[in-house]
Structure formats: structure tokens, C-alpha cells
Amino acid sequence: MNDYYATLGVARDASEADIKKAYRKLARELHPDVAGAESADRFKEVAAAYEVLGNSDKRAQYDRGVDPRGARGGQQGGAQGFGFEDIFEQFFGGGGSPFGQQQRGPASRTQRGGDTLVQATLSLKEAVFGVSREVQVDLADVCGTCSGSCCAPGTQPQQCAQCHGQGVVQRMARSLLGNVMTTSPCPACGGYGTTIPSPCPDCSGQGRTHSRHTVKVDIPAGVETGTRIRLAGRGDAGVAGGQKGDLYVEIREKRDEVFERRGDDLHCTLEVPMTAAALGATMTVDTFDGDQAVEVRPGTHAGSTVKLKGLGVGRLQRSGRGDLHVHLDVQTPTDLTDEQAELLRQLATARGEEMPEANLAPVGGGVFHRLRDAFKGR
């Protein structure tokens, strides 16, 4: 996630006023009219940071670890993205010119397409191994009728009659210092310098149409709820030849009924009959990797764990897998027949346990601690 605080050079607990101040200062220094085209990217970063931190709702969201700009859900947000117009609005909004910088020529209609967010729900097994998925998403495409020009076939944009193609209009305003010439975007053409007399009928002059797309996504092993996979250039088409936005696929991992994930490790609980715990046994466990043998050693205590190395979750962006921890839950029989109870009494007699001695386990030993340690970090 972008560090917007660092971009603006403010502390995480900076006040609204400080953030605004820092933004204005940077914007003034970096505005392309002042610093030239080289600073345009940096200028956009600063504007993006302010878009989030300058808004208390978005800032709160960001502080919780979600970038409100990271990707925009659905069509509405995705349709436009954060483009030139937002910056334009901040500098020229209301016709003012807060920094003495003014639009000098017609604005470009070209805009980058918006980013789009879709969700994909995976089973735990799919998250363990990775999976190839098809997701359905509504995306903007370049209009086939006008090829994105926004004009009806056979027509062209016309120079704006009001600003004569300049994109700006000037007017004289009175101030304490005398008459001042101010420049503001032309209201007739929105600052573009051209108007579109015959908008394309198929896209209503937007240059884009929307349709449902099926997108194949290769989801790597190790993703978890909240992981976002970025498909660069697979989002909305840009406006008037602008580049495409990105498509983000956000993962939701379903709970599994048997296996629980903690990081790259998996945990499960295996019920072991009391007799098997005492005598030892080899038990077969149905894992995501098929049947696996679990060795229950003679004299196994409740709460013991058997680790099956490398049968956990695939590590995201690294090689290898975590481990599968099988927690052994020794089952005390509750349905003894008379005959079985008699056998157990004989065993108790043979072991001199008819009147069991009450031994308290030392601190650090005993099942209470083993269980606690086994579930630490849950």
C-alpha cells in the first residue's frame, strides 16, 4: 500500500490543517506549470495522497489498512478513476486560481481508465494450492462505433465558439489592488477547447461502452482473505485513447470444516481412541494431499501434536509449504458395556490403580500447558 503520509511528509497523527498545509505547499512546488512535465508523476502522487488523507472518512479507512484508492468497486467508481479532472477541479474549481497558476491551454480529453475491484471466494484447499479462476466483471470498453472519439460516425469535434479553442476564458475582476485579469476554464466546452456537436449514439458521446467480461485469473498458492491480485491494464478502457486501468481481484477464503489455517500452517484435530493412545497405532488421515499416515506413539497424551512437514499452505511469493499439525484428542469411552468395564477394572487392578493416587503435575507440565502451547497464536 502506498504510504500517503510519507508522500505528503506528515506524521501519522498530523492534524487536518497540517495535512492540508503540506499538500498545498507540495502542490505549489510540483504543479506542472511551475516545475515542468518531469514533476507530473510526483504531482499525481501528492494529489492521490491528499485525496485520501484530506478526507476524514477515507483517511480512517486508510488507517485501518484499506487503501480507498487501491481499487474502486463496481462501475460508478471505476468509470473514471482519479484522473486529471480531479486535480483540475482542485486547482481551478470555482473559477478561482489559488496559487496564481492558471490553465494555459485546452485540457486533454484523454483519461486513464479506472481501476476495478472484483472478489473471488476460494475454498481453503484452493488457497493452499492456488487455482485458476474465471471472474465476471463489468468493464468499460472503447466504443466500437466511434473508436473512442465520442463523435458520431462521419463527424468531428468542433472548435469551441466561446473560447476559440483556448479552453479558458478571461475576465476582469475588481480587487483591492485594482483590476485583475482572472482565467477560468471555459464553461461552454469544459476546458477542452472543443465541443462535440454530434455525440456518438452508441456510447452517448462517452467514447466507451460497458459490458460483462469473463477474466481468467491465476491465483497463486498462499493467498488469504484480503489479498489483492493486480492485473495491470485489465481494468476499464481509458477515455479518448487513455491507457487502461487495472483490475484487482480480492480474495475471500471460506472456512474449512476440518482444517484451520494459521499463516502458512494448517491445523486439525484427530480423535484417538484411548486404547490406541496407550498402545500406539498408525492412523490414516484424509488431508488435502490425500491419505496420510499419522503415527500415534504408545503412551500418547491428550493434546500431543504430530507434525506432517510440508503439507501446509503454499507460501505466497516464496517456494515451499507450511506444515500440517495434527492435534491428538484422546477419547475416553463413554459407552462401556459391562464386559468392557470389567476388563478395565481388571486392568486397573493389574496396575494397582483401583484407588488412584492424586498426583498434581508440576507447573509447565500437564495437559493444560500442552493445550495452551499448542493453541498459542490462535
Q: How many of the chain's residues bind Zn ion (CB under 5 A)? A: 12
Contact region with Zn ion (CB under 5 A), list: 192-200, 216-224, 350-358, 362-370: 192-200
Site string for Zn ion, 275-314 (x = CB under 5 A): ----------------------------------------
Contact region with Zn ion (CB under 5 A), list: 19-27, 202-210, 247-255, 299-307: 202-210
Which DSSP letter does residue 211 get? E
Contact region with Zn ion (CB under 5 A), list: 35-43, 193-201, 273-281, 302-310: 193-201
CB of 94 to Zn ion, least distance (A): 18
Q: What length does the chain have?
A: 378
Contact region with Zn ion (CB under 5 A), list: 179-187, 211-219, 298-306, 353-361: 179-187
Helix (H, G, I), strand (E, B) or coil at 22: helix
Cβ 249 vs Cβ 233: under 8 Å: no
Considering beta carbons, is residue 162 or 349 the nearer one to Zn ion? Answer: 162
Parallel, antiparallel or unpaired: strands 116-122 and 281-287: unpaired
107 binds Zn ion (CB under 5 A): no
CB of 128 to Zn ion, least distance (A): 46
- Cα–Cα dist 334/274, whole Å: 11
Out of 122, 124, 203, 326, name the contact with Zn ion by CB under 5 A. 203
Residue type, 70: G
Out of 186, 251, 266, 308, name the contact with Zn ion by CB under 5 A. 186
Considering beta carbons, is residue 188 or 347 the nearer one to Zn ion? Answer: 188
Query: ∠ CA 291-294-296 to the nearest 5 degrees?
Result: 155
Which spans in 55-179 are helix H?
56-63, 74-78, 84-92, 124-129
CA dihedral (236, 238, 244, 248) in degrees, to 10, reads -30
Considering beta carbons, is residue 118 or 200 the nearer one to Zn ion? Answer: 200
In the block, cell 477419547 appears at: 331
- Cα–Cα dist 47/27, whole Å: 8
Partners of 260 in beta bridges: 267
Out of 47, 49, 146, 330, name the contact with Zn ion by CB under 5 A. 146
Cβ 254 vs Cβ 348: under 8 Å: no
Out of 49, 79, 122, 143, name the contact with Zn ion by CB under 5 A. 143
**Closest to 255 in 3D by CA, of 286, 227, 224:** 224
CB of 18 to Zn ion, least distance (A): 38
Site string for Zn ion, 148-177 (x = CB under 5 A): ------------x-xx--------------
User: What is the binding site for Zn ion (CB under 5 A)?
Assistant: 143, 145-146, 160, 162-163, 186, 188-189, 200, 202-203
